[in-house]
Amino acid sequence: MLKIQSKFTAYMTVLLTVLMLSGCGSEEQKASIQVEASYPTAIPKGQLPTAIRPTHYTLDLQIVPADADFGGEVAIDLMFDVASDFMWMHGQDMTVSSANLTLADGKVVPVTYEQVDPTGIVKLTFAEKAPRGKAQLNIAYRGKVSDALQGIYRVKDGDHSYTYTQFEAIDARRAFPGFDEPGFKVPFDVSVSVPTDMEAIGNAPEISRADLGNGFTKMTFATTKPLPTYLVAFAAGPFDVVEWADMPTTAVRDRAVPLRGIATKGKGEKLTYALDNSRKIVEALEDYFQIPYPYAKLDILAVPDFAYGAMENAGAITYREQLLLLDDNSSLGQKKSYMSVHAHELAHQWFGNLVTPVWWNDIWLNEAFATWMSNAALDNIMPEHKFRQNMLRGSLGAMGGDGLVSARQIRQPIESNDDIVTAFDGITYQKGGGVLTMIEAFMGKEQFKAGINNYMKRFAFKNATSNDFITAIGEKSDNVPMEKIREAFNSFLEQPGIPYLDVKTATQDGKTVVTMTQSRYLPLGSEGSTDKTWIIPVCVGYGMNGEEHKYCTVLESKESSFTLPETGELDYLLPNLNGTGYYRYALGAEGWSQLFGNQSRLSENSMLSLTDSFAAAMGAGKMDFADFVKVAPTMVASESYRVATSPMSDLSFMYYKVARDEAEKAKISALSRKLYKSKLEKIGFDAKADEEGEVINLRGPLVGHLAFTGQDATVRAKLVDMAKAYVGYGTDGQIHEDKVDSNLISRALIVAVEDLGPEFGRNVLQHYLASTDGTARGRLLRAVASTNDAALGAEVLELVLSEKMRANEVGRALYTLMYDDDQRDAAWAWFQDNFEAVKARIPGFTQAAIAGLAGDYCTLEKRDEVKAFFEPRVASIAGGARSLAQTLEGIELCAAKVAFHQDKLTKFLSAQ
Ligand SMILES: [Zn+2]
């Protein structure tokens, strides 16, 4: 990126100089100077040059959803800042039948179209030089329809075929020749012709439809607002189109917005819940931004096979159908996922769509903001679901990846398409969301909000960079100087890792002096350097003389000290009040025990951050399992299910990875039951009517933990009964969604497949194959892939390469098998034999995940084996190099953690 940018800047400087000179030179001078300012001749490896750029597209497509290719004509209005006889743009795997350039004077110049690079770089050569100024490029072509969920792709659902699109980040170039980068943001006029019994959906409202008389109907959509190519979308097929009530005018919007839901044939009814909840989320976002929803209509599309959770296409958002098709039988988890993903995609209509990053290095401006904004908005309209707490859990979760030496930084330079692919990770979304929470707390909520409004207004329908954002919010800050905000932001955006604060207190003249020493947090076995500092906005909470206090400051150097204003004895010191800071801390034994001893005085988010820092101390080898067992009951006793369930992952790690034998496992199971059984008894295994969400959210993890790590026979037996009832096992053989607790059924099916053996597992497999319901298929597949039976595991593996398994289920099947101790080696061997075939089923943009498939191994021997297999192949996997580096590092760290804890665990357990 730096290289490309500097070359680019140099070129722009030449151009500017030329333009300035040309004002006062003769005609000859101008001509000779312009030759110097030539358009770059080398194939662009990063961003396209901007000296020839689009100002508008007209796109006309002919689509038959079952077909393997499609027809298209594109007219691109261009602006030439330089005269040139060639230009660069994007286009991938297209057969071009005609191409020409119409100059401003009406002259038509033939054009030669040539794809010069496998990543879709195209060189257009003009039969004569095009002068500076306007021109229109016309290309007629045929493109390929993908079966791997990228570009324009087809899906069969039941008896019908459908076509959808997924363009982010760099797949619009498979659908039409163009400038496939976020910085080129212009209006589109799109029309789509489909067989007469079908519908087509676009970004903008349909304005006309014409029967073409040849069995096709042509649907034309209104001109869009300026869009980057990655936000363009269309869909075609015999849809159920559910017209919903328009979203009425609001205090910030003076026009109603039509709202529709689109599902495959027969599934429209299940869109009611999603449609019903859309308006309030849009209104909550408008209320926050004080800017109206930017587009003329909103369609939400439930897509049966989709590579991601959802995609924020302007005005036509696509979702994996599990997220949108809901009813009374849907689990709370599914409903919350819908809320959270829906709010995320709707937040993108502002963050990303209304204001778009100039380049992919700033994709955090889309993803971190949509993550943060969706939780902040949902927290306002449905506080009972505690979305702010969920967001903190998300950013604490991202610390797992951020502890790796191979972690990305949030704002990562983009040097290749691989960097674009790997930019969409937990660091961008969850760490980014956490950093925004920290800056919001630092500035104050109202000023941060005013800053965001400032930014949105200034860059509406345009592009912006991180710097633009920080300037816009800094302008609205009264209490924190702009430069402080910039420094703090940049120190978190532009370096990877988690700040680790070693916190010490001392008493001086009756007052408490707090000293914080920064380093980088690294887990046991890491070979990275801890020598790193950040500019960290810090707020500590403390109890003194029975009262609660708060003190905020900014840490600007490796070691910082500050004196708390009050005089008195400290009850406790909480180094990360409400968990708003993106950092971990270490305390002495007394500090920890004061905090856990005052649990009832701490907020839920303070406790979440505390339990994370405590677990991190164990992860760094500063404490062991015996220390953990001492405080675990305090955590489990918490009223918050998020805090109460936090010790589960360490118990499971000890059970699955560290325990040497069945006897040790049994002791860990007994400990799990001792910690959690009474908690389940208190709320009961069976759900009651009108239960609070927090109880439902506790029951699922409790039941799961007791069934797996706890190996609790009673819980497992109940789950087996539930699974039998679900699939009508031994009765009518039909699926009964209404007979089971949807919040527990996924776990129930896994337990039943393990306990009832392969016959039941094959029954589950048959149900999976017969179902067209994405939610049911997902849970049935995960259950059957959890089998202990080698032959059944092999049957699942064979399905991976069959069309009976949806492309978006391939990852789930393989990851589930690789997660299972009984199946891992067989699945790994099979994967190595079928690597190319598996890769072909996974969309390029999500392929990086396959380099992480072996990440559940935990020994150095396996690390070497995984490395030896992937190293010669990794270049062929988009984003594979980074994914592999992280996987190998993860395996090493796992091995180091086991080595550290194993003897200590044995000693501890033998004393029990
Ligand atoms: Zn997003």
Alpha carbon of 311 to ligand 1 centroid (Å)? 7
Count CA atoms within 13 Å of residue 852 on its CB side: 16
Give strand ranges (E) for 575-671: 584-586
**Which tens digit of pLDDT belongs to each residue from 97-118?**
999 999 999 999 999 999 999 9
Prior bond of 66 cis (ω within 30°): no
Query: 289-293, 419-423, 639-643: which has the minimum mean pLDDT?
Result: 419-423
Which residue positions form the known binding site?
344, 348, 367
Q: Look up the CATH superfamily of 239-332.
A: Neutral Protease Domain 2 (1.10.390.10)
Our CA dihedral for 11, 13, 15, 19, rounded to 10 degrees, sits at 180
Q: What is the pLDDT of residue 25?
A: 37
Structural domain 712-842, CATH architecture: Alpha Horseshoe (1.25)
**Which tens digit of pLDDT belongs to each residue from 445-470?**
999 999 999 999 999 999 999 999 99
The Cα–Cα gap between 684 and 705 comes to 15
How is residue 145 annotated by DSSP? P
- DSSP, collapsed to helix, strand or coil, labels residue 241 as strand
Alpha carbon of 428 to ligand 1 centroid (Å)? 10
Positions marked active-site: 345
Alpha carbon of 364 to ligand 1 centroid (Å)? 9
**Which tens digit of pLDDT belongs to each residue from 402-446?**
999 999 999 989 888 888 888 888 899 999 999 999 999 999 999
pLDDT bracket for residue 37 (50, 70, 90):
low
Name 136's bridge partners. Answer: 77, 102
Q: What is the pLDDT of residue 4?
A: 27
The answer to whether 441 and 395 have CB atoms below 8 angstroms apart is no
**Which tens digit of pLDDT belongs to each residue from 69-83?**
999 999 999 999 999
**Which tens digit of pLDDT belongs to each residue from 517-548?**
999 999 999 999 999 999 999 999 999 999 99
The answer to whether 346 and 170 have CB atoms below 8 angstroms apart is no
Alpha carbon of 367 to ligand 1 centroid (Å)? 5
The answer to whether 199 and 241 have CB atoms below 8 angstroms apart is yes
The Cα–Cα gap between 132 and 145 comes to 36
Q: What value does the mean pLDDT take over residues 658-665?
A: 97
Alpha carbon of 408 to ligand 1 centroid (Å)? 18
Asked if pLDDT for residue 3 goes beyond 90, the answer is: no
Asked if pLDDT for residue 27 goes beyond 80, the answer is: no
406: left (phi over 0), alpha (psi -120 to 50) or beta: alpha
The Cα–Cα gap between 30 and 27 comes to 5
Asked if pLDDT for residue 164 goes beyond 60, the answer is: yes
The Cα–Cα gap between 472 and 289 comes to 14
pLDDT bracket for residue 22 (50, 70, 90):
very low
Query: 137-141, 313-317, 737-741, 828-832: which has the minimum mean pLDDT?
Result: 737-741
Alpha carbon of 344 to ligand 1 centroid (Å)? 6
Name 96's bridge partners. Answer: 141
**Torsion sign (Cα): 736, 739, 741, 745:** negative
The Cα–Cα gap between 912 and 910 comes to 5
Alpha carbon of 169 to ligand 1 centroid (Å)? 11
214: left (phi over 0), alpha (psi -120 to 50) or beta: alpha
Q: What value does the mean pLDDT take over residues 766-774?
A: 94
Alpha carbon of 308 to ligand 1 centroid (Å)? 10
Asked if pLDDT for residue 286 goes beyond 80, the answer is: yes
What are the phi and psi torsion angles at 46 (to 5°)? -125, -115
The Cα–Cα gap between 241 and 222 comes to 19
**Torsion sign (Cα): 195, 196, 202, 204:** positive
DSSP 413-468: ---SHHHHHHTSSHIIIIIHHHHHHHHHHHH-HHHHHHHHHHHHHHHTTEEE-HHH
**Torsion sign (Cα): 593, 596, 599, 603:** positive
Q: What value does the mean pLDDT take over residues 270-296?
A: 96
- If 0-12 CB within 10 Å is exposed, 13-18 middle and 19+ buried, where does residue 79 land? middle
The answer to whether 704 and 685 have CB atoms below 8 angstroms apart is no
The Cα–Cα gap between 490 and 418 comes to 24
Q: What value does the mean pLDDT take over residues 374-380?
A: 93
Return the closest-CA partner of residue 494 out of 424, 577, 408, 570: 408
The pairs formed by 875-879 with CB atoms below 8 angstroms and a separation of 24 or more are 876/839, 877/839, 877/847, 877/848, 877/850, 877/851, 878/417, 878/418, 878/421, 878/844, 878/845, 878/847, 878/848, 879/418, 879/419, 879/421, 879/422, 879/847, 879/848, 879/851
Residue ranges of domains in the chain: 2-36, 44-238, 239-332, 356-493, 499-587, 712-842, 845-912
**Which tens digit of pLDDT belongs to each residue from 341-360?**
999 999 999 999 999 999 99
Output 3 or 889, whichever has higher pLDDT: 889
How is residue 786 annotated by DSSP? T
pLDDT bracket for residue 12 (50, 70, 90):
very low
Q: What value does the mean pLDDT take over residues 769-790?
A: 95
Return the closest-CA partner of residue 375 out of 362, 363, 392, 355: 392
Neighbours of 716 (CB within 10 A): 21
The Cα–Cα gap between 84 and 893 comes to 55
The answer to whether 237 and 302 have CB atoms below 8 angstroms apart is no
The pairs formed by 218-221 with CB atoms below 8 angstroms and a separation of 24 or more are 218/191, 218/192, 218/193, 219/191, 219/192, 219/193, 219/194, 220/189, 220/190, 220/191, 221/189, 221/190, 221/191, 221/192
Alpha carbon of 424 to ligand 1 centroid (Å)? 9
Our CA dihedral for 597, 603, 604, 606, rounded to 10 degrees, sits at -80
Alpha carbon of 560 to ligand 1 centroid (Å)? 37
The Cα–Cα gap between 812 and 800 comes to 10
The Cα–Cα gap between 764 and 783 comes to 8
Alpha carbon of 370 to ligand 1 centroid (Å)? 6
**Which tens digit of pLDDT belongs to each residue from 612-635?**
999 999 999 999 999 999 999 999
Output the six-digit token pair for 782: 């995960």
Q: What is the pLDDT of residue 18?
A: 33
The Cα–Cα gap between 866 and 884 comes to 9
**Which tens digit of pLDDT belongs to each residue from 166-218?**
999 999 999 999 999 999 999 999 999 999 999 999 999 999 999 999 999 99
The answer to whether 727 and 735 have CB atoms below 8 angstroms apart is yes
DSSP 753-778: HHHH-HHHHHHHHHHHHH---HHHHH
The answer to whether 317 and 301 have CB atoms below 8 angstroms apart is yes
Output the six-digit token pair for 797: 């593996």
- DSSP, collapsed to helix, strand or coil, labels residue 292 as coil
- DSSP, collapsed to helix, strand or coil, labels residue 288 as helix
Tokens 């100059």 locate to 103
Break the chain down into helix, strand, coil percent, rounded to 5: 45, 25, 30
pLDDT bracket for residue 35 (50, 70, 90):
very low
The Cα–Cα gap between 376 and 524 comes to 35
The Cα–Cα gap between 356 and 351 comes to 7
Indicate the CATH number for domain 44-238. Answer: 2.60.40.1730
DSSP element (H, E) containing 724? helix 713-727
Record: fold of 499-587: Immunoglobulin-like (2.60.40)
**Which tens digit of pLDDT belongs to each residue from 692-730?**
889 999 999 999 999 999 999 999 999 999 999 999 999
Q: What value does the mean pLDDT take over residues 369-396?
A: 93
Q: What is the pLDDT of residue 507?
A: 94
The reply to whether 239-332 and 356-493 are identical in fold is: yes
Alpha carbon of 468 to ligand 1 centroid (Å)? 20
Alpha carbon of 95 to ligand 1 centroid (Å)? 32
Average pLDDT, the chain: 93
Alpha carbon of 166 to ligand 1 centroid (Å)? 13
Q: Report which residue type is found at 677.
A: K
Q: What is the pLDDT of residue 562?
A: 97
Kindly report the length of the chain.
912
The Cα–Cα gap between 899 and 714 comes to 34
The Cα–Cα gap between 192 and 201 comes to 8
Give strand ranges (E) for 484-639: 499-508, 511-520, 536-544, 547-555, 559-567, 570-574, 584-586
Which residue positions form the known binding site for Zn(2+)?
344, 348, 367
Q: Look up the CATH superfamily of 356-493.
A: Neutral Protease Domain 2 (1.10.390.10)
Asked if pLDDT for residue 23 goes beyond 60, the answer is: no
- HEC readout, 353-388: CCEEECCHHHCHHHHHHHHHHHHHHHHHHCHHHCHH
Alpha carbon of 844 to ligand 1 centroid (Å)? 18
**Which tens digit of pLDDT belongs to each residue from 567-585?**
999 999 999 999 999 999 9
List Cα–Cα distances, 57 to 191, 349, 453, 821, 843, in angstroms: 11, 21, 30, 53, 27
